[in-house]
Amino acid sequence: MIDFALEVENLQTYFYTRAGLVKAVDGVSFKLKRGETLAIVGESGCGKSVTALSLMRLVADPPGRIVGGSIRLSGTDLVQLDEPAMRAIRGDRIAMIFQEPMTSLNPVMTIGRQISEALILHQSMTRAAALARTIQMLGLVGIPEPEQRAKEYPHQLSGGMRQRAMIAMAVACNPEVLIADEPTSALDVTIQAQILEVIAKLRRELGTAVILITHDLGIVAETAEHVIVMYAGRKVEEGDVRSVFADPQHPYTRGLIHSIPRLALMRSGGAVQPERLQEIPGMVPPLSNLPAGCAFAPRCALASDICRRDAPPLEEKRPGLFAACWHAGAAAAVAHG
């Protein structure tokens, strides 16, 4: 039996807004193995960030609420916990890093002090032991002169160093699950590579399972083993990264992969010229006003009557490759034809 760090079952997070009911996460299920990196990919409004916030039980209520499903962290259902119990787990056994490090760093507290606090609170360490561990963590995430940096305030660090400090804080208590929500989207490409390297190192050395939320398929391809593609609040495709990129079953996944420039010249050593990008027509529908049936149908070349009537169930289309599409076979055939 596989030992899962996290098992999410039929998660439903709804927002009750003036514009009506918004099903931001509408029945999402997945399992995360220990030490694995799972990427959740999709465009703005697909529900990937709300999924992450739901796992942390950080959805603002009102207007949002987890209305159904379960989130089991090594067996404990987080959905059922009251806030004090959740507070003991958050930051200790499940932690999160954000795109903008200043959202989680306190500007008037030194880096060392704020990381130590988490350790004193969650792991009942003494102040001295917590500081020693803090300095060790800062070193682990690649901050030079960690003793010195621990005494500094967030504004004294560069963007990349702040991101590292936030990661050190998130993993200080050695969480089972680390959620990274667009952790490098605000960073330059050379700094992005450094931060992704830090996250990979933590996984190797601490065995942390990572959920990586991103819109960047390049990052997915280079860092994750497993990928979930979301569209309009639902999971439309899931599988191991190689299979999903090589043989995507859902027309949306296929469209995404072919709509981005893929560095053809660089990868082929100049032999292959970039081809015209394939467009996905139209745009992501507003979640408050989704069409009946498959939400992707209005943009899909394969859509037929059944797509506009019934939402397709998620089914195993190839071994280990799941998709929610009535015409998945045809989508793959178009790809190969």
Partner 1 sequence: MADPVLEVAGLKKHFPVKKGILRRTVGHVLAVDGVSFAIASGETLGLVGESGCGKTTVGRTVMRLIEPTAGSIRLEGKDITRLGATELRPHRRQMQIIFQDPFSSLNPRMRVGDIVGEPLKLHVAGDRAARRRRIAALFDRVGLRAAQMDAFPHQFSGGQRQRIGVARALALNPRLIVADEPVSALDVSIQAQVINLLMDLQRDMKLSYLFISHNLAVVEHISHRVAVMYLGRIVEYTDKRTLFTRPLHPYTEALLAAVPVPDPATRREKIVVQGDVPSPLRPPPGCHFHTRCRYAEARCKTEVPALREVEPGHLAACHLR
d(CA 229, CA 48): 9
Candidates 75, 261, 319, 337: give the one binding partner 1 (CB under 8 A).
261
**Could you count the other beta carbons within 10 Å of the beta carbon of residue 191?**
17
Q: What angle do CA 141, 34, 229 make, to 5 degrees?
A: 90
| C-beta of 2 vs 266, nearer to partner 1 | 266
Q: What is the DSSP letter of 276?
A: P
Q: Could you say whether residue 163 binds partner 1 (CB under 8 A)?
A: no
Q: Could you say whether residue 270 binds partner 1 (CB under 8 A)?
A: yes
| Burial (CB count <10 Å: 0-12, 13-18, 19+), residue 242 | exposed
Tell me which residues in 31-70 interact with partner 1 (CB under 8 A): 43-44
Candidates 3, 60, 107, 158: give the one binding partner 1 (CB under 8 A).
158
Q: How far is the CB of 100 from partner 1 (least distance, A)?
A: 14
| C-beta of 233 vs 255, nearer to partner 1 | 255
Asked if 181 and 54 touch (Cβ cutoff 8 Å), the reply is: no
Q: Could you say whether residue 177 binds partner 1 (CB under 8 A)?
A: no
Helices (H), 47-110: 48-55, 83-89
Q: Could you say whether residue 264 binds partner 1 (CB under 8 A)?
A: yes
Q: What is the DSSP letter of 278?
A: P
Candidates 191, 302, 311, 335: give the one binding partner 1 (CB under 8 A).
191
Q: Could you say whether residue 335 binds partner 1 (CB under 8 A)?
A: no
Q: Could you say whether residue 260 binds partner 1 (CB under 8 A)?
A: yes
For residue 146, which of 116, 184, 126 has the smallest C-alpha distance?
Answer: 116
| C-beta of 125 vs 324, nearer to partner 1 | 324
For residue 117, which of 172, 163, 161 has the smallest C-alpha distance?
Answer: 172
Q: Could you say whether residue 88 binds partner 1 (CB under 8 A)?
A: no
| C-beta of 116 vs 184, nearer to partner 1 | 184
Tokens of 69: 């499903």
Asked if 187 and 101 touch (Cβ cutoff 8 Å), the reply is: no
| C-beta of 97 vs 187, nearer to partner 1 | 187
Q: How far is the CB of 195 from partner 1 (least distance, A)?
A: 10
d(CA 52, CA 15): 15
- Exposure of 138 in the CB half-sphere (CA atoms within 13 A): 27
Tell me which residues in 240-259 interact with partner 1 (CB under 8 A): 241-242, 245-246, 255-257, 259
List residues binding partner 1 (CB under 8 A): 43-44, 158-161, 188-194, 196-197, 215-223, 241-242, 245-246, 255-257, 259-267, 269-270, 274, 276-281, 283-284
